[in-house]
Chains A and B, each alone.
Chain A
Amino acid sequence: MATPTPELRHQVIRIYKELLFLGREYPLGYEYYRPRLHKAFASQASLRDEEKIKQGIKRAEFVKKEIEALYYLKRYRTLRQRYDEMASA
């Protein structure tokens, strides 16, 4: 495959792997998560403009942060419900 810069290609693969790793704990299941992630990346595969690829990577970083925040909040809320008497009263 003729990609403009190997460096960008490397970055894309790295963020894809990180997102895949995050998906192992996705509440709706890895089976739900993986095809959607794959589709999201595949739909951008034809990008050749470096600026656009960089924007795509930024978006992926943003999604990664969002998923981490989702996991944190989900756990925090569950624990608060279980352990914080003030919250459940």
Chain B
Amino acid sequence: MTSLKILVPVKRVIDYAVKPRVNKTSTAIETANVKHSMNPFDELSIEEAVRLRERSLPVTDILAFTAGPAKSSDVLRTALAMGADRGMHVVVDEKKGELEPLGVAKLLQKVVMEEERNVVILGKQSIDDDANQTGQMLAGLLNWPQATQASKVDIEDDTVTVTREVDGGVETLRAKLPIVITTDLRLNEPRYASLPNIMKAKKKPLVKKTMEEMGVDLGKRLQTVKVQEPPARKGGEKVEDVDGMIRKLKELGAL
């Protein structure tokens, strides 16, 4: 049976429980002094990689990868505490702004080649820009099969079976290794990175690299025109009787 060398990219994002604020110039979300944590969909991917190993599949190595500012190391540590074997951090200058999905996909392509991976498990999207593109772009660049939004993953020999929830049912995909998989919310229940495990994770190897070392063109192709808060929800209104309701509906043009 082919041994599995898994790559799990993770992203540091604003914590899901924090209400995002648009900055004064309406160009981005305020990130200074805001609680950050690992993208929840990426926790699912780490968990899945670790579970593949716990199901005694021949997982030789789980590499957690992140590209982002210096503080992104924290989410790598969390990934290591959850069970990844080693980490790689490409440090991005905060002033240069967010990486774009295509740039990240190119970085990952490079890592896949250099580290000889045959399985990449990504979160389907990050909860900050919600692009839902990186996994698909990576599969395209590598010319590998992709199974997006997986709700179940089975690997037998070099055949991967992925179940995904689609409108009105489930779809089952089968492909040969190597493969790119992206995770859906219902794939598994990520474990909590406990204190003792975080302590142990400090001993696991973590490599830092610079953008220059990676030698990937990360030029900006997208321009953010404007960032806006969604309109405030209007409160409901009580009507006296059925006639009142019909009148109201007519006023609103619903009838």
Q: Which residues of A are in contact with B by a Cβ distance under 8 Å? A: 17-18, 21-22, 27, 68, 71-72, 74-76, 78-80, 82-84
Which of B185, B195, B196 touches A76 (beta carbons < 8 Å)?
B185
Q: Which of B34-55 contact A (CB under 8 A)?
A: 40
B69 sits at the interface (CB 8 A): no
When distances are taken between beta carbons in the complex, the residues of chain B under 8 Å from A83 are 185
CA of A83 to CA of B125 in the docked complex: distance in angstroms? 10
Q: What are 17 A-B interface contacts by the 8 Å CB criterion? A: A18-B194, A18-B196, A21-B194, A22-B192, A27-B17, A72-B189, A72-B190, A74-B17, A75-B16, A75-B17, A78-B17, A79-B16, A79-B40, A79-B127, A80-B185, A82-B127, A83-B185
When distances are taken between beta carbons in the complex, the residues of chain A under 8 Å from B192 are 22, 68, 71-72
Q: Which residues of B are in contact with A by a Cβ distance under 8 Å? A: 16-17, 40, 127, 185, 189-190, 192, 194-196
Q: 3 closest Cβ contacts across the A-B interface?
A: A21-B195, A68-B192, A18-B195
Which of B185, B189, B195 touches A79 (beta carbons < 8 Å)?
B185
Given contacts A74-B17, A75-B40, could you give 11 more A-B pairs where the C-beta distance is less than 8 Å?
A18-B194, A18-B196, A21-B194, A21-B195, A22-B192, A27-B17, A71-B192, A72-B189, A72-B190, A78-B17, A82-B127
When distances are taken between beta carbons in the complex, the residues of chain B under 8 Å from A71 are 192
Residue of A nearest to B41 (CB): A79
When distances are taken between beta carbons in the complex, the residues of chain B under 8 Å from A68 are 192
CA of A17 to CA of B195 in the docked complex: distance in angstroms? 8
Residue of A nearest to B191 (CB): A68
Give min CB distance, A40 to chain B, whole Å: 18
When distances are taken between beta carbons in the complex, the residues of chain A under 8 Å from B40 are 75, 79
CA of A70 to CA of B40 in the docked complex: distance in angstroms? 15
When distances are taken between beta carbons in the complex, the residues of chain B under 8 Å from A27 are 17
When distances are taken between beta carbons in the complex, the residues of chain A under 8 Å from B127 are 79, 82
When distances are taken between beta carbons in the complex, the residues of chain A under 8 Å from B189 are 72, 76
